[in-house]
């Protein structure tokens, strides 16, 4: 079955430290991958997406993610965390035209001063 898994339900970093949020997918067909962010009591906002145009994808707020087919991964990184990055992050996948958008379990990011 096609799915996406986020490793770590909660990640805590210090302000200025590297942020690394992990996402792995399982698929027998080419995946299209997304990262969304959810701030408290709000809906979801797209950070970035992979559509096969480039394996390294840059998104908003300084985030980027690299698609690695050999590792079936699409990890999200940011070189230096800000307090404002504290939120829940979701990895999501779709597989074909008009396909369903399936989400991972989410990772809550905390940023310590």
Residues that bind another protein (CB under 8 A): 6, 9, 32, 34, 42-46, 49, 51-53, 90, 94, 96-106
Q: Cβ neighbours of residue 72 under 8 Å, at least 6 residues apart?
A: 24, 25, 26, 27
Q: How far is the CB of 113 from another protein (least distance, A)?
A: 25
10-14 and 107-112 as β-strands: parallel, antiparallel, unpaired? parallel
Q: How far is CA 105 from the centre of its chain?
A: 11
Q: Taking the complex as a whole, how short is the minimal distance between the CB of residue 36 and another protein, in angstroms?
A: 8
Q: Which conformational region is residue 101 in: left (phi greater than 0), alpha (psi within -120 to 50 degrees), or beta?
A: beta
When the beta carbons of 15 and 22 are compared against another protein, the nearer one is 22
**Closer residue to another protein, CB minimum distance, 79 or 99:** 99
Residue 66 vs 88, nearer CB to another protein = 88
């Amino acid at each position: 079955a096609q799915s996406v898994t986020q490793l770590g339900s909660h990640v805590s970093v210090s302000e200025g430290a590297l942020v690394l949020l992990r996402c792995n997918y399982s698929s027998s067909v080419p995946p299209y991958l997304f990262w969304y962010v959810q701030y408290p009591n709000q809906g979801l906002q797209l950070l970035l997406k992979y559509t096969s145009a480039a394996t390294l994808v840059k998104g908003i707020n300084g985030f980027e993610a690299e698609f690695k087919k050999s590792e079936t991964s699409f990890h999200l990184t940011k070189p230096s965390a800000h307090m404002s990055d504290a939120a829940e992050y979701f990895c999501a996948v779709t597989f074909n035209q008009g396909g369903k958008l399936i989400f991972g379990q989410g990772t809550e990011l905390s940023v310590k001063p």
